[in-house]
Structure 1
């Protein structure tokens, strides 16, 4: 597969001047380092045990949580020959989050609309998503972002696509 030399040029000709941030592989150094250093060999796609790594419009790997969750097996990191990821000691420390994102629940959530659903809580191993009654007959979801591992299991299982990750820089700009 041939690598696109300048993805911004393609966006210009398509009339898309701004670049929507993609959910890249966990623990990359930065988007700029990733897109300038990735040779699009697809070794990370082949090595992903949950098959959630796909190609974006420019041919770079990205995570698609609609296909499943990330188990943080680090096979994508180990299969990559390029220096695109944070140092292993930094990853192993547990202080680094895999992505600069925050989890959010939008208003399409069934429970928020008085329809019983707890599919996100059922798959959340760390119990970052809990439900609490708030003067209604249906319990509403609550997020404890400190417990969220960012695995994406809740995103894949939600029947309404009401859960998503928002890049922290986007969340800060929206305020």
Structure 2
């Protein structure tokens, strides 16, 4: 295991240039991306306790959620083990009914059902039943996501055979590259 950086944001400032890059889904219910990258010391504790093994490291060593491998069970172990103040407090989450990530689940044009091929794998794994299929303009039913019911667990993302479902985060962030 590598030694965690004492202050990773300071080191990145002096190492590289700042570029725009789409943000990655970090751990659920972090305060915000800036707080996360400023305070996270890359200790890997969250990676080690994740029961779904979906927390990975990005190219700068920060943890992110990789929905292509599994879904988040919202067990809270990553929050419990973290020694840094990276997460919203539980009262804020419950009182505001805050989503775990600042974005929405979307289905793109690679979706098999939207291309007249029968597939409902996303609906089959959606525990809150946020994905439904209806007949719109063809003989194959097409998916619709009810965002009010979606808990953003990512089960539909990991199951989709076409990688047609993504979590589109609200904002792009600035990331420093070597």
Unmatched 5+ residue regions in structure 2? 173-178
Could you tell me which residue of structure 2 aligns to residue 7 of structure 1? Answer: 12
Superposed, 1:1-175 pairs within 5 Å as 1-2=2-3, 3=5, 4=8, 5-7=10-12, 10=15, 12=17, 17-93=19-95, 95-169=97-171
Counterparts in 2 of 1:19 and 1:11: CA distance versus 1, 3 Å: farther
1:30-83 deviations in whole A, cap 9, x for unaligned? 111111100100000001000000000100000000010000000000000111
RMSD: 1.6
Residues of 1 paired with 2:109 and 2:136: CA distance? Answer: 16
User: Paired residues, what number?
Assistant: 167
What TM-score comes out, normalization by structure 2 length?
Answer: 0.88
1:74-105 deviations in whole A, cap 9, x for unaligned? 00000001111001212244611101011110
Residues of 1 paired with 2:16 and 2:117: CA distance? Answer: 41
Q: Larger helix proportion, structure 1 or 2?
A: 1
Three-state SS of the structure 2 residue aligned to 1:131 is strand
Moved more, 51-60 or 2-11: 2-11
Three-state SS of the structure 2 residue aligned to 1:7 is helix
Unmatched 5+ residue regions in structure 1? 171-175
Counterparts in 2 of 1:70 and 1:94: CA distance versus 1, 3 Å: farther
Q: Larger strand proportion, structure 1 or 2?
A: 2
Residues of 2 paired with 1:89 and 1:102: CA distance? Answer: 23
Moved more, 89-98 or 99-108: 89-98
- Note if contact 2:113-2:142 (Cα within 8 Å) is conserved in structure 1: yes
